[in-house]
Amino acid sequence: MVIIEHKIIREVPTLHIVKEQKMETQAPLIIFIHGFTSAKEHNLHFAYLLAEEGFRVILPDALYHGERNEGLKSNELNYKFWEIVLNNIKEIENIKEELVALGLADSERIGVVGTSMGGITTFGALTQYNWIKAAVSLMGCPNYEMFSRGIIHELKKNGERVPFTDEEIEQQITFLKRYDLSSQPEKLKHRPMMIWHGRFDEVVPFQYTYDFYQQIRPFYKGSEDLLKFIEDPKAGHKVSREGLIETVNWFKYHLAYD
């Protein structure tokens, strides 16, 4: 039986999903990061299937989301996007450290996955943490600079007043570059990486992600089975069931115990 437990980990509200018989034993760990304006509960279908395969799954609420909602208006939340992403990156390490210290997570078998903003977080986390052994990005973007400039462009085009000067925007983008996987693809270090993206994604541009995939393919020469790109030719900004099943299979193949 799969257990769903509400658990506070290092002050972060999370859902802890695992088979009952593995509640108190070490298991491969997967941290699943939700999307912008979403919440941890929205990815329970992923967590259930992963738990069925023997994983311990943690679904955290991102800053200003779910239980951490502070009642911000949508435009106020928009301007905190990168604060949320960078905080996600910091907090997934805290979560991992806590579970490893408790003997509940196998430090050699840890994966990170996310949808949309969570996929963006996943790409950024790969630039910071070698302990991530396998990763999946669903509708994410590794190119922080281009995506950030695209967001600002759209806001201005829609007539919104951007509460930052051009100088402040450039300072933020300069800071974000240290998390931009597209500018430092060598940090992947041949780790298993699966990418899923809908061709008609109207929120996170498909082309950024596809171009990145083409960029990193040479890094996986001779180990092509460690890199997978799935293009859904009909999908917009919503993960298909195929994306769900392929995510589970990816971690099952690369992280699960034999």
Helix/strand/coil for 254: helix
Decide if pLDDT at 58 tops 90: yes
The pLDDT score that the predictor gives to residue 37 is 95
Decide if pLDDT at 42 tops 90: yes
The rounded percent of the chain whose pLDDT value lies above 70 is 100
Strand partners of residue 15: 6, 59
pTM over cut 0.85: yes
Mean pLDDT of 109-138: 98
- Burial string for 44-77 (b: 16+ CB within 10 Å, else e) reads bebbebbbebbbbbbbbbbbbbbebeeeeeeeeb
The pLDDT score that the predictor gives to residue 207 is 95
Q: How far apart are CA 158 and CA 162, in angstroms?
A: 11
pLDDT tens digits for 215-226?
999 999 999 999
Q: Which two tokens stand for residue 53?
A: 């395969």
Least confident of 6-10, 132-136, 155-159: 155-159
The pLDDT score that the predictor gives to residue 233 is 95
Q: How far apart are CA 219 and CA 209, in angstroms?
A: 16
Decide if pLDDT at 258 tops 80: no
Report which residue type is found at 91. E
Decide if pLDDT at 50 tops 90: yes
Mean pLDDT of 108-131: 98
Residue 194 contacts residue 129 (beta carbons within 8 Å): no
Q: Which two tokens stand for residue 165?
A: 């000067």
Decide if pLDDT at 156 tops 90: no
**String of DSSP letters for 162-203:** PSS-HHHHHHHHHHHGGG-GGG-GGGGTT--EEEEEETT-SS
Q: Using alpha carbons, select from 141, 130, 142, 144 the residue that is nearest to residue 185.
A: 142
The pLDDT score that the predictor gives to residue 154 is 82
